[in-house]
Each structure stands twice: as C-alpha cells, then as structure tokens.
Amino acid sequence: MNDIQKRYEAVQERMRAAAERAKRPYSSITLIAVTKRWPVELVQVARDAGMFHIGENRAEELAEKRAALAADTTIVWHFIGALQSRKAAIVADHADTFHALDRMKIARRLSKRLEENGRAANNRRLPIFLEVNISGEASKAGFAADRWRDDATQREALRKVVEETAVLPGLHLQGLMTMAPFGAPETEIRDIFRRTRQLSDWLQAEFPALTLDQLSMGMTDDFEIAIEEGATHIRVGRALFGERLT
C-alpha cells in the first residue's frame, strides 16, 4: 500500500466512525478528494486508490487536469472554489458539480453557458450547491445567512435565491454548502454546521417541489463534526495528500 492509500484508508475509517456516531449510513456521505495545487499525476494516484470524486478550486486548473485525464470517464469533477463570473464558462464546460454558488450573476452565466454548450438541452443540468455564510464573517463568501431565523428580510432574500436558481434551465439545485471559521473551537464549528442543516430543512419545507437534501460541509480539520451534523459531501485535501506547497 502506498502512502496515499494508507491516508485514504485512515480518512475512510474516521468517516465510518463519525457516521456510526450519527447513526447515518456511511454510503450517504461522498468524499471529495481535493487535489488543488497538486500535479495531475497525483489525481491519477488518488483515482487508482479508489477516489473517484475530485475537487478543484481554480477554473483553469480544473480544465487542464480534466483534459489530461480525459480518457478516464470514471472521475467526477467537483468545482469547490469561489468563481469569478468571467470564468463561469470554463466551469460550465468542465465541472460535474459546482459547490460554491454565491451570486445570482454567476448562476445566470453558468446556466446560459450550459444551454449554449448543450448540456442543459441534453438534460445534463449542472448540480449545484448554494454557498451560505452562516458565521457572518465579512471575509466569508456566500449568501448572508447568519440571522436567517430572526431576520425576515434575510430569510426572504434566501427564499428568492432558491426560487430564482431553481428555474434556471442549466442548473440543478441540490442543497447548501458552507465553510466553518478557520481554527474556531469545536462548539462553534458544530453550531455553524447545525444551523446550516436547519436552514436547509427550512428551505426544503418552503419548497416541497424541490429536493434540497444535500449538504456540502466539512474539510480536513472538521469533517467528522460535519458528518455528525448531516454533511452528505465532505471536501478533504490535506488529510489525504499532506500539506500543499503553494
């Protein structure tokens, strides 16, 4: 077993233990192996070890790696980072799932391109997650959701985002994504994930015709807490591949 296989085994073991604590099936959790900044050879190693879900956060890097591994159609490419609107077309052409929708402008650009490139027409709408800013940190991306319980204006804004996104022909809205504050105490991180889950439940109740049951949350330092709080997609880099050099 190589080093990456060993790390993968260890992460899976931790995922299993967290799922068990939460009384959730292990199969309800998708591990996204975040290969950003690593060369394409590492993606190949990860894939050979059994990691089929690959995460990238720069549009050009995603396009390059996907092209280099085009022969391997088993890889599912997740775009997990902030997206600038001028790069929306690259993601629309190369991503299989988009985790960080944080502006309606991006949603419209993605959808338009997906209609142009034929994916929408072929009923291959791009699965997306709305990124929500639950902590209220100014530095965090995402639709404002720090006071959604108490603030009717914020709730209405979130409702509207869901409503408008759900009707875009190129996109398939499937849930929420969030990031916990870096280095925060466990209780705070858990609270952020729990409030994201509750917001997701509220939106689901508001939109019974949609299926908003996916939650993208949890990274190397907090994926076990995220699983305990209901994450269906965790995005893990360092625990699998070590520290990134850049």
Q: Output the residue with the shortest Cβ distance to ligand PLP.
A: 237
Q: Which is nearer to ligand PLP, 5 or 220 (CB)?
A: 220
Q: How far is the CB of 220 from ligand PLP (least distance, A)?
A: 3
DSSP per position, 144-201: E-TTTTT-HHHHHHHHHHHHHHHT-TTEEEEEEE--PPTT--HHHHHHHHHHHHHHHH
Q: Which is nearer to ligand PLP, 12 or 117 (CB)?
A: 12
- Of 243, 228, 223, whose CA–CA distance to 31 is shortest? 223
236 binds ligand PLP (CB under 6 A): yes
Candidate list 60, 188, 238, 242; residue touching ligand PLP; CB under 6 A: 238
Q: Which is nearer to ligand PLP, 117 or 220 (CB)?
A: 220
Q: How far is the CB of 9 from ligand PLP (least distance, A)?
A: 17
Q: Which is nearer to ligand PLP, 120 or 222 (CB)?
A: 222
Give the integer Cα–Cα distance in Å for 128 and 25.
23
Candidate list 35, 57, 196, 214; residue touching ligand PLP; CB under 6 A: 57
128 binds ligand PLP (CB under 6 A): no
> Residue 23 region, left (φ>0) first, then alpha (ψ -120 to 50), else beta?
left
Give the integer Cα–Cα distance in Å for 234 and 161.
23
Considering only residues 203-232, where is the footprint of ligand PLP by CB under 6 A?
219-220
Q: Which is nearer to ligand PLP, 204 or 220 (CB)?
A: 220
Q: Residue 204: in which H helix or E strand, if any?
A: helix 186-206
Strand 30-34 to 143-144 pairing:
unpaired
Candidate list 62, 81, 180, 196; residue touching ligand PLP; CB under 6 A: 81
140 binds ligand PLP (CB under 6 A): no
- Of 175, 182, 188, 183, whose CA–CA distance to 230 is shortest? 175
Residue 25 to residues 61, 149, 194: CA-CA distances in angstroms? Answer: 33, 29, 19
235 binds ligand PLP (CB under 6 A): yes
Q: Which is nearer to ligand PLP, 74 or 246 (CB)?
A: 246
Q: How far is the CB of 105 from ligand PLP (least distance, A)?
A: 20
Give the integer Cα–Cα distance in Å for 229 and 217.
9
- Degrees, nearest 5: CA angle 139-144-148: 135
237 binds ligand PLP (CB under 6 A): yes
Q: Which is nearer to ligand PLP, 65 or 235 (CB)?
A: 235
Binding site for ligand PLP (CB under 6 A): 34, 36, 57, 80-81, 219-220, 235-238
